[in-house]
Amino acid sequence: PVAVKLADYSPYPFEIEQVDLAFDLDPDATKVSATLKISRKPGGGTAALVLDGEALDLKSIHLDGRLLGPEDYALTEKALTLPDVPDAFELKTIVEISPAKNTALSGLYISGGRFCTQCESVGFRRITFYPDRPDVMSRFFVTLTADKAACPIMLSNGTPGDVQDAGNGRHTITWDDPHKKPSYLFALCAGDYDVYRDTFTTMSGREIALAVHVDKGDAPRAAWAMDSLKRSMKWDEDTYGREYDLGVFNIVAVRDFNFGAMENKGLNVFNSAYVLADEDSATDADFEAIESIVGHEYFHNWTGNRITCRDWFQLCLKEGLTVFRDQNFSADMRSRPVQRIKDVIRLRGRQFAEDAGPLAHPVRPDTYGSIDNLYTATVYEKGAEVIGMLRRIIGPEAYRKGMDLYFERHDGQAVTIEDFYACFADVTGRDFTQFRRWYSQAGTPQVTVAESWNADAGELTIQLSQSTPPTPGQKDKLPVPIPLELALLDGTGGTDAWTVVLDQPEMTLTRKATGARPLLSVNRDFSAPIRVERDLTRDQRIALVVAETDPFNQWDGVQTLVTEEILKLSEGSQAQPDDQLVDAVASAVRKAAGDPAFAALLTRLPEVGELFLERSPAEPVALHSARKRLQAALSRALSDTITTTLAAPSPTPYEPSAEQAGIRALRAAFITLLGASGAPDAGDTLLALYNAAPNMTERLAAMRALTALGTCQARDTALADFEQRWKHNAIVMDKWFAVQAGQGTAATVAELAAHPDFDLKNPNRVRSVAGVFASANLAAFHAPDGSGYKAVEDIILKADAANPALAARLLTAFEQWRRLEPKARAAAEATLKRLQNAKLSENSADIVSRALG
Ligand code: HT7
Ligand code: ZN
């Protein structure tokens, strides 16, 4: 694809004052009439009118009522150009599109027999001719006409008018969205749904009609999404002073969706996996994900919709900020330290890996090849961390003032990161020029910490230095301002905490301490998205974990210890874990029993993907085996605790509360460890746990642990039972596919792909097989004989023809190939080269060419 550059931005020369869209909905041939009121911007010169449009069958164009002929315009595969237009005019186009044939799931398509749209980033141009860019904001009126029986419900953005008869068994409705919006926030959904309804009264006393639209029979499973929505609305009022701004808010659950959800104005469209949950079918992780994604999309109403992005380079302006908001919402709903740990696990697992490979890019890239590939962990997760650092540096009050100013100053506009930071500069008087390097510089900064103790002066000297490794296209890096939360710990709970901003390449600090030499705690609460390098012995690290008073660092200290141990074990295939280390971890787990969610996280061992980043060349098979040995040792060390915990009943009656979820998280973690113990009766014990599990969290943990045992009767029994019970529920069956792909081999993937319920057109199903295998089963994916790559390549090639965005995302699994041991590396390179020569979509070709670098 041709690279698009931030530096080439120029404003659109026309204003689109109003858009009237009329859809005559039909799965095979939908007629779309678009009437645009257009005026040339003052100083807009004599520019031609260029409208984006792709895969549209143009029927007619009228300008101020005059039918245009081919001599009046130029039509290409990507655009409609009218070279000569007046300063103010009305343009009416009529096109025909085929939703049933749309397998890319961008634009108007059919899922589960119902109409739905996905327009971010560039789907609107697959619906009608339009300047499909976020800085063109307009007022939309949308008329939908459809078959009464097939589409009793017809939804779009804004507020509905009355439904009217349209003859021939059809009916019609007009939606009016009073808020100007860019085309990517347009949506329509039409079909036969069950609806879960409720209301919310805003802080100014307005009653909002809320509705969640789901497949027939699924309404009871929408209760948690609705509850999450109401809590999100209240949280945004309490935390940011933001009130909802329409009389209705609709959510629609869709089976086939490329992403988690979409924040269309007043009409959020969701992947059904992030709407539907109940006690029987959902895990606590599912409930948690629904809460977070419902919150995320709702929070976009202000950060993204009322104020949007000038261009797609500014994506982090809405996404990083909104992830930061949803993370804080979840932290307020649940446990803040546990939420922080989970956020960091996600960041390290996905973003640190991205930053360390050929796909590394800044939070605000300055060039891109394919726009769908811009929706990355760096833009989302690192983008959120940067907002978190801003808040830490200026403090919560100044942060809130800056946000208030941002909402006041830019409401109704499409803006840039510079506009956002100007608000914070204005409220604090600070200069954010250096801080904005976080947006322009890729790579994870590394901070090295050294310390020396002067006993006579009772003073600790701390030397800090920072460096950021080179990344593609960015060899030399400048220092970034790193807010570091530090503390001196006296070992008895005494904590002297403070924050420094490391904004130089090097910095030396001194801190007085009373009494004996204190222990130094660094980057508490993960105050910055960095890697910390400290030359400490294992005993010093254990002492630090014991003395630590910051929950994040307690957990992280254990992670560092177990990481080092696994890396050491991976050097010899028979090496056994150190007893002292295993006891230290086991005792930390036991000590945390009062906070089971936290204790569960302490049992977690880093995934092979994280361990990978610590080694070059990396040997996934050896790392996986070492990880298993440590897990087995930890299981044995905790065996009494595991037995006692699992002998106690699971909480009843079931509630998706954070408190109960914490208890179940520890039970599930212990089920996992039990499976890793190597005990000869593990299969029978796990099958009994599987059969007796009173909820999906524990049932799934038992099935996963059984699957990890490899081929055995108990595993087969559980898998067959699960399939039998859930074969009619696609969301639950995704778990069945994922559990096997996450533990099996390339042959398992081929088998799953041949299963009658494997559906290449359903992104959730494809991800649950190929995505899980390639991202969570690295020993098998990176098998030295290349079998893992071949299994995924076969799926990618087929998926790419139908859905390029889906295939491109799967391809990112190859991003670490250069790090691999020679055999896997050669097999990965050969696969990428084969893919490069295959006729891939632009999205996929973009990833392959960047991966090969
Ligand atoms: N803003 C939404 C992005 C999105 C998307 C992007 C590309 C292709 C399909 C998509 N569906 C949704 C999701 C969000 O961050 O809220
Ligand atoms: Zn978002």
Chain centroid to Cα 589, Å, comes to 29
pLDDT recorded at residue 464: 99
Nearest to 565 by CA among 575, 577, 557, 555: 577
Q: Is pLDDT above 80 for 689?
A: yes
Report residue 316: phi and psi, to 5°: -65, -25
Q: How far is the CA of 261 from the centre of ligand 1 (A)?
A: 6
CB 153 within 8 A of CB 191: yes
116 lines ligand 1 (CB under 6 A): no
Q: Which of 105, 252, 262 to mutate to test ligand 1, by most ligand atoms within 8 A of the CB atom?
A: 262
Catalytic residue among 297, 385, 548, 610: 297
- Which atom of ligand 1 is the closest one to the Cα of 293? 16
Atom 6 in ligand 1: which residue has the minimum CA distance? 120
356-385: pLDDT as tens digits: 999 999 999 999 999 999 999 999 999 999
pLDDT recorded at residue 45: 87
From residue 168, give the alpha-carbon distance in Å to each of 8, 28, 51, 148, 172.
50, 18, 34, 9, 12
Q: How far is the CA of 120 from the centre of ligand 1 (A)?
A: 6
326 lines ligand 1 (CB under 6 A): no
Atom 12 in ligand 1: which residue has the minimum CA distance? 262
Q: How far is the CA of 323 from the centre of ligand 2 (A)?
A: 7
Q: Is pLDDT above 80 for 44?
A: no
Average pLDDT of span 730-736: 98
CB 501 within 8 A of CB 483: yes
Q: What is the DSSP letter of 632?
A: H
pLDDT recorded at residue 227: 98
Q: What is the DSSP letter of 638?
A: T
Q: How far is the CA of 258 from the centre of ligand 1 (A)?
A: 8
Atom 15 in ligand 1: which residue has the minimum CA distance? 319
Band of pLDDT at residue 155, cut at 50, 70 and 90: very high
90-110: pLDDT as tens digits: 999 999 999 999 999 999 999
737-778: pLDDT as tens digits: 999 999 999 999 999 999 999 999 999 999 999 999 999 999
Q: How far is the CA of 843 from the centre of ligand 1 (A)?
A: 15
All structural domains of the chain = 308-440 (1.10.390.10), 447-525 (2.60.40.1840), 727-853 (1.25.50.10)
CB 574 within 8 A of CB 626: no
Give the number of the ligand closest to the Cα of residue 119. Answer: 1
Distance CA 370, CA 844 (A): 9
Task: Report the C-alpha dihedral over residues 396, 399, 403, 408, rounded to 10 degrees.
Answer: 100
Q: Which of 117, 181, 254, 375 to mutate to test ligand 1, by most ligand atoms within 8 A of the CB atom?
A: 375
pLDDT recorded at residue 2: 85
**What is the rounded average pLDDT for all residues in the chain?**
98
244-257: pLDDT as tens digits: 999 999 999 999 99
Give the number of the ligand closest to the Cα of residue 268. Answer: 1
Band of pLDDT at residue 1, cut at 50, 70 and 90: confident
Q: Is pLDDT above 90 for 34?
A: yes
Distance CA 533, CA 218 (A): 50
CB 315 within 8 A of CB 4: no
Q: Is pLDDT above 90 for 335?
A: yes
- Report the 10 Å Cβ neighbour count for 756: 5
pLDDT recorded at residue 144: 99
Distance CA 235, CA 328 (A): 10
Q: Which of 106, 111, 116, 120 to mutate to test ligand 1, by most ligand atoms within 8 A of the CB atom?
A: 120
319 lines ligand 1 (CB under 6 A): yes
Task: Say what the pTM is.
Answer: 0.99
Band of pLDDT at residue 43, cut at 50, 70 and 90: confident
Strand partners, 485: 499
Average pLDDT of span 60-71: 98
Is 297 among the catalytic positions? yes
- Which atom of ligand 1 is the closest one to the Cα of 259? 11
Q: How far is the CA of 322 from the centre of ligand 2 (A)?
A: 6
Q: How far is the CA of 297 from the centre of ligand 1 (A)?
A: 10
Structure tokens at 131: 């300047």
Atom 2 in ligand 1: which residue has the minimum CA distance? 262
122 lines ligand 1 (CB under 6 A): no
Residue appearing with tokens 């939606």: 175
Q: How far is the CA of 123 from the centre of ligand 1 (A)?
A: 11
Atom 13 in ligand 1: which residue has the minimum CA distance? 262
Average pLDDT of span 580-592: 97
pLDDT recorded at residue 762: 98
121 lines ligand 1 (CB under 6 A): yes
Give the number of the ligand closest to the Cα of residue 809. Answer: 1
3-state secondary structure of 109: strand
634-688: pLDDT as tens digits: 999 999 999 999 999 999 999 999 999 999 999 999 999 999 999 999 999 999 9
H helices then E strands: how many in the chain? Answer: 30, 32
- Stretch (H or E) spanning 578: none
381 lines ligand 1 (CB under 6 A): no
Residue appearing with tokens 């490329």: 258
256 lines ligand 1 (CB under 6 A): no
Atom 1 in ligand 1: which residue has the minimum CA distance? 262
- Which atom of ligand 1 is the closest one to the Cα of 805? 8
Band of pLDDT at residue 19, cut at 50, 70 and 90: very high
**Is the preceding omega at residue 121 within 30 degrees of 0, hence cis?**
yes
Atom 11 in ligand 1: which residue has the minimum CA distance? 259
318 lines ligand 1 (CB under 6 A): no
Q: Is pLDDT above 90 for 62?
A: yes
